[in-house]
Structures are given as C-alpha cells and as structure tokens.
Amino acid sequence: MPPSFLEEQRKAALDVYEREPVPTWRRSGFWTTTLRHLRLDELEPRHYDPVDSFEELPGVVIDALNSEELAGLIVQRGASTIYTALDDSLADDGVILTSLERAAEEHPDLVERWYMKRLSHEEGKFPAASAAFWTGGAFLHVPDNLKIENPIQVVYVIDEPGTAQYAHTLAVVGQFAEPYLREYCLAPDFEGQALHAGGFELYCRPGSQVKLAHFQDWGSGEIYDISTKRVEIQRDAHCGWVPIHLGGHLTKQTLDIVTAEKGSDMRHNGLYFTEGDEHLDLFTTDLHEQGDTTGDTVWKGALTGESRASYEGLIHIVQGAQNTNTYLQTHSMLLSPKAKADSIPSLIVQTDNVSASHGGTVGEIDEEQVFYMMTRGIPRREAVRILVEGYFEPVIGKLGDPPLEALVRQRIAGKIAAAEEHVEEYIEQR
C-alpha cells in the first residue's frame, strides 16, 4: 500500500492534469513547440515481466551499455521496472538502489523528505501527468562519505509504439560522498507514437562531489519527450552535469541547476544533434539562491535535415546572492539549408557585486577550414566529419567516461555519415 503522502501528491497532481489543456510553448514570439500531432488518448502504460539477467534485457539497452562494469543498474521498460542490480559491497555500505515505488514502501521517511522537494505538479500538464501516473521509477541513496568509482546506471526504455511512459528518478547523495550517476533514455527504431513524460531530481548534500550524465536517443520513432530535470547543490558541494540529446521526434525539456548554499559549484556541459524533422526545445536555468557560489554552462548543438532546435539558457541570481561567479555560452552549427536553430542566452541579476556573463552563436562549417584540410590531402567528406566531431569534443571530454564517450562519438559519426550528402551540398553552396 503506497504511503499517504504519496497518495496525496498523486491526487493533487491528477487534479492539475485534468484541468490543464495540452500546452503550446511560445518563446519570444518566434519559436513555437506544439503537440497538435500527439494522439495522447491513444497512448497507454505498458507493463512487462521482470528479467533475471542482463542478457535478457532489451537489445537497445545491451547495445548501449556494452557489458560495462557498473556499480548498479536499474531498468524500466514501459511502465515496469524489469531489472535491478547493485554491487554487494555497496549494498553492505548502505547504498539504496531500487524502484521509487518500492523505496516509498520500504524507506517512507527518506522518500517523503526529498520527493518533489524541487519539482512541482503545478508546473503544467505534463509535470502533473508524471507526478500523477508514474510507476516503477528509480530511487538512489548514497550514504555520507562513500566514494563510488563505477557508474550507477538508470535506464528508461520504450520499445513498442502506443506506449505512455511516466517516469520519476529521485537521487540523494550524502555529505562528502562521490558517486557517478547516469540516466539513459533509449528506444529502437519503430513506427508509431510514444510518450516519455519524466521527472528527475538530484540532491547533492554538503561537501559531496557528484558526476551526472544524461543520454537520450529515442531512435527514429515518433517519440515525444516532455521532461523536467532539476539538481540542487548544497553547501561546498559540486555537481558536473553533462546532458546529451541525440534523438527524439519532439523533445521539450527543462533542465535546472540550483546552487542553493554558499560554496556550491556546478559545471553544466551539454550537446545535441538533430536530424530529419526532429524538434528540440531546451530551456536551462543556472539559479543562484545564495552568494559565494560558482557556475559554468556550455552547450553545443548541430542540426541536419529539416530539424529545428532551440536552446535558451538563463542565469538567475537572486537578491542577496553576492559574490556569485558564473558564465553561460551556447553555440549551434547548421549543417543543412533547411535546418533552423536559436541560441538564446539571458540574464536575471537581482543583486550587485557579481560576475555573470553570457554569449550565444548560430553558425556554419567554416569553408576555409575545409579548404585548408583538403589542401593537405584530406577528402572533403572526411574534413567535414573531423570538423564536426572536433566541434563537440570539448563537451564530450567533460564526461571523463570512456565507454559513454565512445558511444557518443559513434552515434555522432553515424549521424554525420547519414547526412553527409546534404552537408556537403550545403557547404558547397555557401
């Protein structure tokens, strides 16, 4: 039986979901994200039986993880948690890795303390849907002073059309702990619609040092991803967060980092690559609630085909948060004449004695660099591939995770190869 606090949260969220219309997001009068083609009433949660071994997981999961050595792994397929594994020594040390449903029953005090502390079902129809309907989910608790070398992996997978996946990850990292958390959202190529409506919240307790990576590749299916991800960093803690978006029919995500107490520090480095008719709408916030906090945000994207991508990053320094030092930069590279991109950095500064700056660009492959490489005997297509991969390398290098770095490079190389004729034609026209 779910605890009463969770039932109350679900009921309040359901009320919001039922009264809110399906939203359309408009930004600055020139960018619209619409869900008019989403047939929400035709989608439903799909449940699956658990599996006993890694080899029984969906192929898209096995391919992405490639038999890595993981500290822990939890996989949700559709609406069901189908696999959970945790290193025995970490379990002995007090690490908890389980479904959020199970955690709410077995650790109700811990879950109630942190659940939805930074998220709210009042933020719109889909945040309310996630809060009302999620099943399975993932819960991670890392005790104080524990250092974990290998990744703790959460995977959400959709492998059938007609699926509505409502997901929620809650992670709490204890004081002076040092874990590495990864969350992957994966799907094979299929025809038909599906939905992932997700919530993610991570709490970095004082003095903790946390690595966090998100990897999204929903394949070529008509998958809609409408998610909110939020990270709170407490006193003298650090979080390095690398989100990677490499595939999804329509993605509308909000990603926020809150430096909530003095001495907290964040590094937020993200990348995206859109192709075909994909539509990507990202909004990130670097929110400083206290002074003597630091931050750095860098995003890079590339677009091919007729894809659309908008990245808006906000630095928000509240009143009284003096001695804040932070920076935001965003860059988009067009690789097709029909692709469209916006890079929108912005600032809200409500106090003095801070250092906050930003910059944004939308550009193209430099033909002079291509020509120079060709004079050195490098074929044009190879030159373009090298330049695009090199453009992303500063972000990929921030991962400090060779298996994930290799996966990202492989996927980007595949996207460049798939679009190389259009890219080459575009460059020749410039």
**pLDDT at 29 > cutoff 70:** no
From the list 80, 271, 74, 89, the residue with the least C-alpha distance to 155 is 74
pLDDT attached to residue 301: 96
Mean pLDDT calculated for residue range 349-355: 93
Query: 65 pLDDT exceeds 70?
Result: yes
User: Distances from the Cα of 244 to the Cαs of 29, 145, 303, in angstroms?
Assistant: 27, 29, 14
pLDDT digit string (tens) for 398-407? 999 999 999 9
At residue 127 the predicted structure's pLDDT band, cuts being 50, 70 and 90, is very high
Mean pLDDT of the chain: 94
Give the residue from 343, 346, 362, 361 showing the smallest Cα distance to 31.
343
Between CA 82 and CA 115 the distance in angstroms is 22
Q: What percent of the chain has pLDDT over 90?
A: 83
Strand pairing category for 80-86 and 72-77: antiparallel
What pLDDT sits at residue 1?
66
pLDDT at 368: 81
Measure the CA–CA gap between 50 and 62, rounded to whole angstroms.
16
Matching residue, tokens 């397929």: 77
pLDDT band at 283 (very low <50, low <70, confident <90, very high): very high
